[in-house]
Amino acid sequence: MVIREAGLLFRGFNLVKKSYHKITLGKIDSDLRSGLLTALLTFADTAFKSDSIEYFEGGKFVTAFINDKIRAEDSLEPEILISYVILDKEKKIDKYIKKIIQPMLVKLASDFKNQNEMKNLSEVSQFTDFKKDIDSIFGSDAKNIDQKLQGLFY
């Protein structure tokens, strides 16, 4: 299982993301993709019971996510914070997501909230250093087999 990308969404925008491997050949606007993902998750949360959808499965990739809440400096109430990963689709993906990916996503959201609760979340450049935290959570699972073997022998 290879993680292609991990990140956090807030109000339809990427707060921070870390790309490990290319997902598409063409150029995709990350804000457009973030907005679409946020809209789909908000719809699913509204239309179905809360936490009933844990991932979207496509032909090649799976997008897994969790919803959390964070309070921004300019907000009276906590708002949805989405932690997500895009990973390769493989057999027994459901078990892998539940046992391995979801705890990582919970840690990602928790670490981000601990560092950034009640901050101005609209200035995303301040979260650049948080990519190191994403690496520490997902780093080894983001490597393909060749990269893992290379690390053993060199």
Residue 47, burial from CB neighbour count under 10 angstroms (0-12, 13-18, 19+): exposed
- Read off the pLDDT of residues 82-92 as tens digits, 9 standing for 90 and up: 999 999 998 88
How does DSSP assign 119-130, residue by residue? Answer: S-TT-GGGGGGG
- Read off the pLDDT of residues 62-115 as tens digits, 9 standing for 90 and up: 999 999 999 999 999 999 999 999 999 988 899 999 999 999 999 999 999 999
Spacing of C-alpha 134 from chain mean position: 9
pTM attached to this predicted model: 0.85
Q: For residue 26, is pLDDT > 60?
A: no
The full set of domains in the chain, from first to last, is: 3-153 (3.30.450)
What pLDDT, on a 0 to 100 scale, did the predictor assign at position 29?
Answer: 77
What pLDDT, on a 0 to 100 scale, did the predictor assign at position 109?
Answer: 97
